[in-house]
């Protein structure tokens, strides 16, 4: 159903009206009728941020006028942009151009202690077919765990790192470039995160996993592999995902604290390029109140630490949500 945005605490009369269409039970929505520009009023920016918090992954259509500068400026309205990447800066410090497709489930940049809160992606060159992006809700994935697995996840901590075989996961585009891989690994980061984090704005619990996980603290390599496969499978269930086939003028925004995503490499030898802006996030905190801990690498040059505030009167899009309010 399509309607003028009406959400608790944000009224259509207080911001530029736009339409929100819910596209999936657990995540996914489309915004139509919104023209992004540098002078968006604060109420409209707040309304967009709320839609992202509720629906996790959001597509804003009709943004044919957006270029790199406008994409970055829009990010500045929603938060504090990070540098393009903690290690890959040869392509520019503001936006990260990505060629090919990730072809693996992940949350952006979890190998640092201050995981970005939000990512903004713009398709620059799309192939004639394929090249969709998929998202999965790590909130719904956690909420659907049976109690024994939930108790296990609540008590696990995982080490995330960029020191792994990048090409094993990313088989199309950048991963085939030795110079890119060398730059990706030039500074090694390792961070210990709670496997279950409490979202600082919504209070929802979310699984923090993906392809940057190296090990679970205190467990053997084989045990890590088995448990990671088990928990990842819950995140990746088809009913917990949202898939978008890109159209010209689309801009994707997602809550990086409550999702994983996957760039689908189903376009053969065709060329695909997307540009990403990420926004500074907080340091994750587990259900026991313990924060993430940096083990190797200093991320202060990459990003500030965001100070997040709870969203008043927050109502999740899905009924599969466990919150700590």
- Give a three-class secondary structure readout of 131-142: CCEEEEEHHHHH
Residue 309 lies in a domain: no
Show the domain range for 69: 2-296
Average pLDDT, the chain: 91
Within the chain, how many helices (H) and strands (E) appear?
7, 18
Q: 324: pLDDT confidence band, cut at 50, 70 and 90?
A: low
Residue 240: CATH number of its domain: 3.60.130.10
Q: What Rg do the C-alpha atoms of the chain give, in angstroms? A: 19
- Tell me what pLDDT residue 267 has: 95
The conformation of residue 94, written as its DSSP 8-state character, comes to S
| pLDDT tens, position by position, 129-181 | 999 999 999 999 999 999 999 999 999 999 999 997 654 555 455 555 777 77
Residue 319 lies in a domain: no
Alpha-carbon distances, residue 276 vs 82, 235, 298 (angstroms): 11, 23, 22
Residue 193 lies in a domain: yes
Residue 120 lies in a domain: yes
Residue 307 lies in a domain: no
Residue 311 lies in a domain: no
Tokens of 169: 């996961």
What is the CA angle 6-7-11, rounded to 5? Answer: 60
Total domains in the fold of the chain: 1
Residue 258 lies in a domain: yes
- Tell me what pLDDT residue 322 has: 85
| pLDDT tens, position by position, 252-273 | 999 999 999 999 999 999 999 9
Contacts of 148 (CB under 8 A, 6+ apart): none
Tokens of 86: 């903690």
Mean pLDDT, residues 80-94: 92
For residues 88 and 68, what is the distance between their CA atoms, to the nearest angstrom? 17
- Tell me what pLDDT residue 10 has: 40
Residue 316 lies in a domain: no
Spatial contact of 223 and 216, defined as CB atoms under 8 Å apart: yes
Helix or strand run (H / E) with residue 143: helix 138-143
Tokens of 117: 């809160």
Spatial contact of 117 and 280, defined as CB atoms under 8 Å apart: yes
pTM score over 0.75: yes
Using left for φ > 0, alpha for ψ between -120 and 50, and beta otherwise, residue 105 falls in beta
Q: Three-state DSSP class for 43?
A: helix
For residues 82 and 70, what is the distance between their CA atoms, to the nearest angstrom? 16
Q: Is the torsion defined by CA of 51, 53, 59, 63 positive or negative?
A: positive
Contacts of 73 (CB under 8 A, 6+ apart): 38
């Amino acid at each position: 159903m399509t309607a003028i945005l009406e959400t608790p605490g944000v009224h259509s009369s207080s911001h530029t009206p736009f339409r929100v269409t819910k596209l999936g039970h657990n995540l996914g929505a489309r915004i139509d009728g919104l023209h992004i520009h540098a002078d968006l009023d604060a109420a409209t920016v707040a309304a967009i941020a709320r839609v992202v918090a509720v629906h996790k992954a959001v597509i804003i259509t009709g943004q044919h006028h957006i270029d790199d500068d406008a994409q970055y400026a829009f990010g500045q309205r929603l938060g504090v942009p990070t540098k393009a990447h903690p290690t890959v800066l040869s392509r520019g410090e503001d936006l990260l151009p990505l060629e090919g497709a990730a072809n693996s489930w992940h949350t952006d940049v979890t190998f640092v202690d201050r995981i970005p809160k939000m990512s903004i992606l713009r398709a620059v060159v799309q192939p004639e077919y394929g090249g969709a992006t998929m998202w999965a809700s790590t909130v719904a994935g956690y909420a659907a765990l049976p109690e024994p697995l939930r108790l296990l996840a609540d008590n696990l901590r995982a080490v995330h790192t960029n020191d792994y075989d990048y090409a094993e996961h990313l088989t199309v585009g950048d991963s085939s470039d030795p110079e890119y891989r060398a730059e990706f690994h030039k500074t090694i980061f390792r961070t210990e995160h709670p496997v279950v984090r409490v979202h600082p704005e919504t209070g929802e619990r979310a699984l923090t996993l993906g392809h940057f996980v190296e090990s679970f603290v205190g467990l053997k390599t084989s045990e890590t592999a088995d448990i990671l496969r088990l928990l990842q499978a819950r995140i990746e269930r088809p009913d917990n995902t949202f898939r978008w086939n890109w159209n010209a003028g689309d801009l994707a925004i997602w809550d990086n604290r409550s999702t994983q995503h996957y760039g689908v490499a189903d376009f053969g030898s065709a060329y695909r390029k997307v540009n990403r802006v990420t926004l500074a996030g907080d340091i994750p905190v587990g259900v026991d109140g313990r924060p993430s801990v940096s083990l190797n690498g200093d991320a202060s040059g990459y990003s500030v630490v965001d100070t997040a505030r709870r969203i008043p009167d927050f109502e999740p899009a899905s009924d599969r949500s466990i919150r700590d309010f």
